[in-house]
Amino acid sequence: MRQNKSNRYMPLLMALCVVVGILIGTFYANHFSGNRLNIINSGSNRLNNLLHIINDQYVDAVNIDSLVDKAIPQILADLDPHSTYISAKDVQRATDELKGSFSGVGIEFVIRNDTIRVQGVIKNGPAERAGILAGDKIVSLDGKPFVGKSVTNEEAMYRLKGPKDTKVKIGVLRYREKKQRYFTVTRGDIPQKSVNAAYMLDDKTGYIRIKSFGDNTYPELLIALAQLSQEGFGNLVIDLRDNTGGYLQSAIQIANEFLPAKRLIVYTEGRRSPRKDYPSDGHGSYQDIPLVILINESSASAAEILAGAMQDNDRATIVGRRSFGKGLVQQQMSFNDGSMIRLTVARYYTPSGRCIQKPYVPGAEHGYEDDLMERYTHGEFFSQDSIKHTGPAYHTVIGRTVYGGGGITPDIFVPEDTTNVTSYYKEAAMSGMILQFAFTYTDDNRLKLNNFTEMMELSDYLVKQNTVEKFASFADKNGLQRRNLMIRKSHNLLERYINSRIIYNIMDEEAWIKYINMDDKVIDTALDVFRRNAAFPKKPTPANKGKKGKVALLHGTDRIPSPTGTEMIRHEILQKA
């Protein structure tokens, strides 16, 4: 009886609840409508609701997606210098840099006078199979002109790269021809090498240059080591100068090749990321080979992990200048629209416990970016005594003193050489005039230059051609006034820069590296380390324990923020598509 009575009143109670709910909702909607934003009571709600309010009530139509693309980078910049946002259109290019390959036509190019110039053609790639040659000027794509101000690296990449097996019609002007040639190129997988040189410096010393740490860096290194083994190497130089990093795992795999079992390589730790150790497993095949690692101020991230692991384990001698100082670990996270963020989730620490991240103020991007220029102005590139360590002292396995808080300080410091630098040389290099001349000279003499297959033969030939004099005449006609006294003083620098670019244009990156390494005092210092049997660091004696490393009275050839001297030779990087 009681249950039937309750059932009878249930519809009435439900109706009453609905009415009360509507009244409450109406009250709050009226109370907080208009310009009052009281409903936004937390950070995430504020941002979300702000976008809704702008979209709904702003005086003009607003592209919300574009607004978000502008807002997210600013939010991330206020966290740290390495948390970044990558828009959907830029994701492919950002990820291609560290992948082992990408899909494209297979050319290296530069843009000169608003026109794409084919600098090199990837061997056995789609462009080579179609008939495109180095020196060709690309003037149309898919039947439409592609010259003028619209020709940028970004636009060229967008049009030349694309899904595998898709086609692009390329129109080119060949040297001394006025009529376009057309080639239909079927895009394919283009290898992306991160080990871009492996050769013998002398009868006993192998050299490997790693320019980044990507998917295939470790297998590429093993191939390079196998190649050098066939040539009988007994010492090894690994060049990490200008290597800005990449994948943590690649650096760990490489370090493992050179360390005995149970040696800590690196560890990571963050607020929501518990400490994770990465030890060596003892399976490396090169645990006993004398090793020197080269670094400079542009060596960062994964490059610093490798150098730091070798230094803290007393496994190698580090030569060069203090590295960049990036000790933050980013995790990649994607959004539904294809864009992504790289968010700092942890710090990494070298085996001794030091974090080598240089100091930064959240949101103060310019101060962080200006750090290298401040190092240069302060004199750090010329004197080891000018290095300012902001972190505490730590100790390696055998007790050597090392420092955190701002990069890896080398065991042997090699200052920069500015002896023969003149204002003429600086302007010639930094204006791009040398690069323009080298390309023009290559184009005008390509038939003759193509006959050379060995770097040294081509180098000897170019010395006899007096390229410095030819450049001075070319530059004078193009706005750089001839200064004979300065040209004589900087003659060797000019010759090396000019001839290095011509060698690059005709041959490949390895030939170019071999050439610029011939007169590189950092390389000379590394070879001297092996001659002195000093590749394995020695335990410090009480007399010198805690002192800074020995200063080598030699000069390097690295790229620096305000280039001076021979480091300008490393200045231009070609685009690949």
The catalytic residues are 301, 312, 326
| CA angle, residues 395, 400, 402, in degrees to nearest 5 | 55
What 198-204 contacts at long range (C-beta under 8 Å, 24+ apart), as own/partner pairs, is 198/224, 198/227, 198/228, 198/510, 199/228, 199/510, 199/514, 200/228, 200/231, 200/233, 201/237, 201/517, 201/523, 201/527, 202/527, 203/232, 204/232, 204/233, 204/234, 204/235, 204/530
3-state secondary structure of 137: strand
CA pair distance 296, 371, nearest whole angstrom = 14
Tell me the pairing of strands 340-349 and 393-395: unpaired
Contact in structure between 206 and 237 (CB atoms under 8 Å): yes
CA dihedral 435, 438, 439, 445 (to 10 degrees): 180
- Extract the tokens encoding 320: 């060069």
Do 112 and 147 contact (CB within 8 A), yes or no?
no
Q: Which amino acid is at 574?
A: L
Supply 302's token pair.
């994964």
562 with 373: CB under 8 angstroms?
A: yes
Question: Is beta strand 144-145 parallel, antiparallel or unpaired with respect to 167-173?
Answer: unpaired
Look up residue 174 and give its two tokens: 């060949």
Token pair recorded at residue 69: 């693309």
Rounded to a whole number, what is the largest CA-CA distance in the chain? 117
Instruction: Quickly count: other Cβ atoms within 10 Å of residue 537's Cβ.
Output: 20
Count Cα neighbours of 431 within 13 Å in the Cβ-side half-sphere: 15
Tell me the residue ranges of DSSP E strands in 276-350.
Answer: 276-279, 291-295, 317-320, 328-334, 340-349
- Between the CA of residue 467 and those of 38, 106, 303, 474, 492, what are the distances in Å? 72, 30, 36, 10, 11
